A and B are shown apart, each in its own frame.
Chain A
Amino acid sequence: MTLPPFLRAAAGPLKLMVQDRLAVIGMCVLGFIIAMALFAPLLSTHDPRQINEIEDGSVLLRGPDGWALSDSLGPLALNDADTAAGEALIVGREGTVWARDGDGWTRRSVPTDADLNAVAIGPQGGALIVGAGGTILLRDGDGWTAIPAPAPAELRGVAWIDAATALAVGAGEEIWRIDTAAGTVEEVTSPVGRGFSLNSVARDVDGTLLAVGVRGLAIRYDPDTGTSLERLGSSRDLNHIHIAPGGAALVTGERGTLLRRDGTDWTTDPAPDTRALRAGWIDDDGRAVAVGRNGIVMEWDGAAWVLVDTESERHLRALLIDGDRWMALGSDRFVVRLAPPSAEHWFGTDHLGRDLYSQNVHGSQIALLVGFLGATLVVLIGTNVGLIAGYYRGRTETVLMRTVDVMYGIPFEPFALILVLLFQPSLLIVILAVSLLTWRTVARLIRSQVLSLRERPFVKAARVAGASDLRIMYLHIFPNVMPLVFLELAIIVGVSIIAEATLSFLGLGPPQSISWGGILHDARLSGAWRTAWWWNLPPGILIMTTVLSVFFISRSLEVVANPRLRARG
């Protein structure tokens, strides 16, 4: 098969390029990046703009340097814990029950997969778990049996009255008295009866029970006389109550609510943070701790509550205090901020919990779009100006080349900044800023080539044959400057990609778009870049590899454009 002559002519330079090892590497890498841009939605593992949240059975242990994250107990959030007589139980979502086993924890199986909200260990080794859908579980030897509920209520708290009876409270103001021996549930009338949610219940020192709920609601239950209302001095939503054996008590609630009982009077303590507190613990020696959302841990230092350093933003829901071992448990769905690379997030996450791998993959689109569009525009303008100036000479040349001279007096980055100041940042302005000045080099190069080409015999012959100026310029001269044009195109693609990254890094890129420079802008702005190396490294490496691959290709194009280099290489 014989190839048409122009294809054969093109094959020569191509062969030269294939022989250059660096050029081949460059073409492979660029091909890879282009594929990345084209298939970005398929390749990315997450939506790059989505804030990622996960659930985790998080455990924070109090050490000498504050509360530190410990090994997780499974992937499901932990809601409550209780300890007595050397044993400890933790309950969580979807039927999660953990029991302490020596120094570790073992998962216990229960006959339900409802969310479990509260656990209580009784005076004689009995244990009760309550949860969603009216779930009531009673420990029976090594296993658990369900006690049938009169209604599918969402039960929030449970506490033992004596060795055989217990009280559970629920989200619909349910107050249920559970007889564990008979396995029956008796509904107790509430003094309010408006369906207010009761969130927690605890046994007081005098044998009565105190339940707390929304809008500062507190209900005392006396096994002999029934329920009565009680005032604690707050109208905020109360989440948890804990009463120590000696009578000290702590109630925690929304917006940093801390109600402390010292003897008989309740006082409202000022909190150092106003986020929701989900659990508290107090003893009769004046030690107390409260935990809440976003990794908030407060400790009572004898005179005031102080915020303690934690290394985590997880939502804490329960406390498990057993001697000197203090544990805080959580965590329902929390934002995965600044997470280092993991199997879930290959390049980690940023300060808003967005997946960085997906952002980097999507960033290639803007880089290549601006790179190639800008370079095409530049080469289009530059080549035509160079052709016209070099071919017509005279006044046309003077005007065009003076324009180019003027452009050499304009510094690039500041000009782009001014352009963005005056006209709102957009993709068009970024491409314009990149291309408006860069064509000056191309125009000068092409013109000097055309100047020598127009004196060559084949041009004169064409002119004698009666060819028009346009025909000579574009059909006779242009093919001869083609290699140079392609060389410039390749170089300017690299320049444009860096220019776009620079503008985006300065926060002047197209808004609402994801780009490599923009990722680095976010990193610098958030201040976390000094520790989060996974945030800084990939975009820079990607910019560098892309531009480098383009430069490698341009180097072998240079050999094509300049045969003098070919002999020695």
Chain B
Amino acid sequence: MTRRTYLIKRVLQAIFSLWIIATLLFFLFRMGLPDPTAALITEGLNPEQRAAVRAQFGLEEPLWRQYTLFLTNAVQGEFGTSFSYRAPVADIVWDRLANTMILMLVAIVIAYGIGVPLGAWLSWRRGSRTDTAGIFVGLMFRSAPMFWTGMIAILIFGVGLSILPTSGMRTLPYDATGFWPKVLTLDFLWHAVLPVMIVALYYLGSPLLIMRNTMLEVYGEDFIEMARAKGLPERDILYRHAARNALLPVVTQLAVTIGLAAGGQVVVEVVFSWPGLGREILNAVRTSDFPLAQASFLVMAAFVISLNLLVDILYTTLDPRVSFR
């Protein structure tokens, strides 16, 4: 199989997955919420307005018509109007997705940037007290639920020392149009410190442990003996020879992690009032805002799938040994 046919096959697979998830989502919603506009009655919508909403989602049509309408709308990026925001769902979702991605990507980069060298170093000191302590700390942050570490961090840095802001992306009120003017400020950086730190600490454990364990396996290989025999300094053996060869499983883990990043960490967004997509889904669930919940989830899944695809393609470029099977 050539690289080209592999790529085509992989893209088709991704589209297939997305279609399955969209179908699943549609039927889940029809099963759980036979009349999604029921939630609107309490908000004082008159019968005409309600009928208009029902027509927009095609709720009077037979099921298969509703389904095709849902699919065509989704493909066109037309998700209707949010019940609670009274604004186009698509605008809300894209804005929140960007907020989630910046938080997650920065945190993941930091976690892997620290975790990989630290894991390599721990493997070099294997069996020592430092090694045990490193494993312990890495596993500890992996075991502690993020909403709890987040609350504790707010208690310490926000309430106790009051040196860091604990909620939102910017100090309110702020005046910024668009994503980059909002993000490229010191104020944003200041607000991002705590949530990024909490997510990064949580993710730190896996690169640390994977790197350490793979390094231990690599140490047994002949080329390491060879390097030792040549009289290379331990530092060079560790970082230039062993670490490079131990990177592959870490990259695999990184790919999976980035792939799921769009799903975000709902609890971190909730605890730090970060206006991300995860928090939006929770709000939509609480207010029975079904167009928003449906669209957020679909966009999230689409993003997860495309990130997975992208990472897979990059992966074949990085490591030619991965066959196109």
Residues on A lying within 8 angstroms of B by beta carbon are 22, 402, 405-406, 408-415, 417-423, 494, 498, 501-502, 505-506, 508, 517, 520, 523-524, 529-530, 533, 536-537, 539-540, 543-545, 547-548, 551-552, 555, 564-565, 567-569
Shortest distance between the CB of B28 and any CB in chain A (Å): 6
A548, B265: Cα distance in complex, Å = 20
Q: How far is the CA of A501 from the CA of B28 in the complex (A)?
A: 24
User: Do A422 and B263 touch across chains, with their CB atoms under 8 A apart?
Assistant: no
For residue B315, which residues in chain A have a CB less than 8 angstroms away from its CB?
none
Known pairs A523-B151, A524-B271 / 9 extra A-B pairs, C-beta < 8 Å: A406-B17, A408-B308, A411-B300, A418-B293, A422-B31, A506-B282, A517-B145, A547-B143, A547-B144
B270 sits at the interface (CB 8 A): yes
Inter-chain CB contacts under 8 Å: number: 150
- Cα separation A552 to B135 with both chains bound (whole Å): 10
- Report the minimum CB–CB distance from A85 to chain B (whole Å): 51
CB contacts (< 8 Å) of A544 on chain B: these are 140, 143-145, 148
Pick the residue among B29, B136, B148, B219 that contacts A422 (CB under 8 A).
B29
Task: List 13 A-B residue pairs with CB atoms under 8 Å apart, sorted by A's residue number.
Answer: A22-B132, A406-B16, A409-B301, A409-B305, A411-B304, A421-B284, A422-B29, A502-B266, A530-B159, A536-B155, A543-B144, A551-B143, A565-B213
CA distance A155 to B158 in the complex (A): 55
Collect the chain A residues with CB atoms within 8 Å of residue B33's CB: 422
User: For chain A, what secondary structure do more than half of its interface residues adopt (helix, strand, loop), or is it mixed?
Assistant: helix
Q: Is B152 at the interface (CB under 8 A from chain A)? A: yes
> Which residues of chain B (99-155) have a CB below 8 Å from chain A?
126-127, 132, 135-136, 139-140, 142-145, 147-149, 151-152, 154-155
In the complex formed, the residue of B with least CB distance to A413 is B266
A residues near B147, Cβ cutoff 8 Å: 502, 505, 520
Query: Is A520 in contact with B151, judged by CB distance below 8 angstroms?
Result: yes
Q: Is the interface of B mostly helix, strand, loop or mixed?
A: helix
Contact indicator A409/B155 (Cβ below 8 Å): no
B231, chain A: closest CB distance, angstroms: 23
* Across-interface contacts of A418 in B (CB, < 8 A): 25, 28, 281, 285, 293, 297
Q: In the bound complex, how far is the Cα of B18 from the Cα of A410, in angstroms? A: 9
User: In whole Å, how far is B295's beta carbon from the nearest beta carbon of chain A?
Assistant: 12
Contact A548:B220 (CB < 8 A) given known A530-B155, A530-B159, A540-B152? no
C-alpha gap A176/B304 in the complex (Å): 85
Please provide the chain B residues from 261 to 304 with a CB less than 8 Å away from any CB of chain A in the complex.
262-267, 270-271, 277-278, 281-282, 284-285, 288, 293, 296-297, 300-301, 304
The listed residue (B127, B142, B260, B282) touching A411 by CB distance below 8 A is B260
- Residues of the B chain whose Cβ atoms lie less than 8 Å from the Cβ of A419: 28
Contacting residue for A417 out of B152, B159, B285, CB 8 A: B285
Q: Are B144 and A409 in contact (CB under 8 A)?
A: no
Give the interface of B toward A (CB within 8 A): 13, 16-18, 20-21, 25, 28-29, 31-33, 126-127, 132, 135-136, 139-140, 142-145, 147-149, 151-152, 154-155, 159, 213, 216-217, 219-220, 259-260, 262-267, 270-271, 277-278, 281-282, 284-285, 288, 293, 296-297, 300-301, 304-305, 308
B148 surroundings in chain A (CB, below 8 A): 520, 536, 539-540, 543-544
- Inter-chain contact A410/B217, CB cutoff 8 Å: no
A304 to B29, CA, bound (A): 58
Known A-B contacts A414-B296, A548-B139; A409 and B282 likewise in contact (beta carbons under 8 Å): no
- With contacts A406-B17, A406-B21, A565-B216 taken as known, whether A533 is within 8 angstroms of B304 at the C-beta atoms is no
List A contacts of B143 (CB < 8 A). 494, 498, 543-545, 547-548, 551
Q: Is the CB of B281 within 8 A of A414?
A: yes
Give the CA-CA distance A530 to B271 in the complex, in Å: 12
> Complex formed: what's the CA distance from A250 to B289 in Å?
56
CB distance from A128 to the nearest CB of B (A): 53
Q: Which residues of B contact A569 (CB under 8 A)?
A: 126-127, 216
* Interchain nearest-CB distance for A399 vs B (Å): 12
Contacts of A529 in B (CB 8 A): 151, 155
Chain A residue numbers with a CB within 8 Å of B25 are 418
Quote the shortest CB–CB distance from B184 to chain A (angstroms): 28
Shortest A504–chain B CB gap in Å is 10
CB of B323, distance to nearest CB on chain A (Å): 14
Looking across the interface, which residue of chain B has its beta carbon closest to that of A531?
B159
Q: Cβ of A548: which chain B residues have Cβ within 8 Å of it?
A: 139-140, 143
* B264 partner residues in chain A, CB cutoff 8 A: 411, 413-414
Other-chain contact of A408, B219, B259, B277 (Cβ < 8 Å): B259
Docked CA distance A418–B135 (Å): 35
- Whether B145 contacts A421 by the Cβ 8 Å rule is no
